[in-house]
Amino acid sequence: MSEPIAARTESDLPMNAVYDAAALGGFDPVAKLGAPGKYPFTRGVYPTMYTGKPWTMRQYAGFGTAKESNERYHQLVAAGTGGLSVAFDLPTQMGYDSDNPIASGEVGKVGVAVDSLDDMRVLFDGLPLDKISTSMTINAPAAMLLLMYQLVAEEQGVSADRLAGTIQNDVLKEYIARGTYIYPPKASLRLISDIFAYCNTEMPRWNTISISGYHMAEAGATPVQEIAFTLANAKEYVRAAIAAGLDVDAFAPRLSFFFVARTTLLEEVAKFRAARRIWARIMREEFGAQNPKSMMLRFHTQTAGVQLTAQQPEVNLVRVALQGLGAVLGGTQSLHTNSFDEAIALPTEKAARLALRTQQVIAYETDVCKTVDPFAGSFVIESMTDEIEAAVEELIKAVDDRGGAVAAIEQGFQKGEIERSAYRVALEIDSGERTVVGVNKYTIEAEEKYDPLRVDPTIEAEQRDRLAALRASRDNTVVAEALERVKAAARGTDNVLYPMRDALRARATGGEVADALREVWGQYVPRDAF
């Protein structure tokens, strides 16, 4: 009998048809894995994981105006979601107000438009900010949106030390894969360090950064590249915070991560387990962390938007269920399941509810929450975990050899590696070597007509009117003075979040605060833009 032909994983590592104990090279589960909730956290960051309670079920939402998004949040909370995840439109993500000419045509399109404290107040109207956890997918202007959230909570009578949630705040991956950066890397790292210090004092329950591999994966990164480049970026943030005078154990427990879950369930489970083990070792051995919480890789997962198809969109329900299951089996702390119609347009209310119900079925109708790390000791999972770990460490070394994440970004290293992987996958799909159900195999001649949710085009005019009314009703002298204090802090070494908070409380807009920092720090122009 001939030997089974080995396949390849998404990371282009060999995948055997049969695994046995020999593949593990004398595997000692106690020495290698440790116990759940113990270093190196391969089996999960908490001893009981989901046997006590399931992961936080987040649903990513935000579109049009703050009022429309608020209505969707109330629907999600009523449906049983335990955490909100806010999507912002592109102008907000880039630090531009809705009436800036550069924002034309993009207001409210891929998320909610938030120009000022007034918008943030409407966005969270009637929602119990002391009882829900809020994640905000915002990066370069993360400090501004966080401060607006804090100010709205205080108006509701909720003190900052009671607020729980996460800001993404991961600018380095924007230079690699996404593009919603504002300031040059050095200034961005300064701002992030100020956020760490501010939250350590003012908002101790808040996760100050969600270091993201998700967007790199959406751009084409393999699982190994996703983990390696994310952890390399994380090391850069830790170095910056330490250089700013912060003790590693003062900020590291509030670091969190954000990864994708693909349909390749086995490799994804192994990826998450390897990532935890590598990060624990980096924090203890490279940065001298003493607090076990500093070594825990806590992460949010989103199912793979890039794998959703506009063809036969109902099939996405199956993809999302498998991806969500992989994230749970891998030990995620929170999960967003994509809606089946997102490859076509913004998700409808029914589609968003079905996405949440997918998580609830996994949590309450399967048995995966009844035991910790269900795949521990599996020949295939443990072998793949080891192989991914070795490949990730090799790629992190390649980043370090180039001077670290920022230097490697400036050399185009991560971007080039990801683009090569994306090109390989595209060729495999085009040739039929890689099957995508409904796209290059098992197709149908006539697709069912689908009526997507669309954003009202009048939103942009409404936001312009709101901004005009804001500027007419506030004390513009007070605003101008507050913005000058922001610039002074940016030129010096004071924490910029305190004067930023004062400016926003005086009803400065997000764009005005971002412009104040642009005036001092400049704006990043990528090397390949010349």
Over residues 333-341, the mean pLDDT reads: 94
Whether the pLDDT of residue 41 is over 80: the answer is yes
> What pLDDT is recorded for position 188?
96
Structurally, how many domains does the chain consist of? 2
> What pLDDT is recorded for position 242?
96
Q: Domain check: are 356 and 492 in the same one?
A: no
Q: Domain check: are 358 and 487 in the same one?
A: no
Q: Which are the contacts of 519, defined by CB distance < 8 A and separation ≥ 6?
A: 487
Where do we find the tokens 């104990």?
21
Q: Is residue 432 part of a domain?
A: no
Whether the pLDDT of residue 2 is over 60: the answer is no
pLDDT tens per residue, range 490-518: 999 999 999 999 999 999 999 999 999 99
Residue among 481, 491, 467, 501 nearest 143 (CA): 501
Q: Is residue 504 part of a domain?
A: yes
For residue 360, give the CATH number of its domain. 3.20.20.240
pLDDT tens per residue, range 231-285: 999 999 999 999 999 999 999 999 999 999 999 999 999 999 999 999 999 999 9
Whether the pLDDT of residue 82 is over 80: the answer is no
Cα(243)–Cα(189) distance, rounded to whole angstroms? 11
Q: Domain check: are 161 and 284 in the same one?
A: yes
Q: Domain check: are 357 and 464 in the same one?
A: no
pLDDT tens per residue, range 371-393: 999 999 899 999 999 999 999 99
Q: Both tokens of residue 430?
A: 């085009």
Whether the pLDDT of residue 352 is over 70: the answer is yes
180 compared with 84, residue with greater pLDDT: 180
Q: Is residue 89 part of a domain?
A: yes
Percent of the chain whose pLDDT exceeds 90: 80
Angle between helices 185-202 and 497-505 (to 10 degrees): 80
Alpha helices in 15-89 (DSSP H): 29-33, 66-79
Long-range contacts of the stretch 396-402 (C-beta < 8 A, 24+): 396/228, 396/231, 396/232, 396/235, 396/278, 399/228, 399/229, 399/232, 400/232, 400/235
Q: What are phi and psi of 206, to 5 degrees?
A: -85, 135
Over residues 136-152, the mean pLDDT reads: 97
Q: Domain check: are 343 and 466 in the same one?
A: no
Whether the pLDDT of residue 85 is over 90: the answer is no
Q: Domain check: are 505 and 359 in the same one?
A: no
Q: Both tokens of residue 520?
A: 């001092």
Q: Domain check: are 358 and 505 in the same one?
A: no
Over residues 207-211, the mean pLDDT reads: 93
pTM: 0.90
Q: Domain check: are 292 and 146 in the same one?
A: yes
Q: Which of 365, 392, 412 is the last residue of a domain?
A: 365
Over residues 217-225, the mean pLDDT reads: 97
Q: Is residue 385 part of a domain?
A: no
Whether the pLDDT of residue 183 is over 90: the answer is yes
Range(s) of the domain holding residue 289: 39-365
pLDDT tens per residue, range 165-177: 999 999 999 999 9
Q: Is residue 371 part of a domain?
A: no
Peptide bond between residue 40 and the one before it cis (omega within 30 degrees of 0)? yes
Q: Which of 331, 365, 399 is the last residue of a domain?
A: 365
Over residues 179-199, the mean pLDDT reads: 95
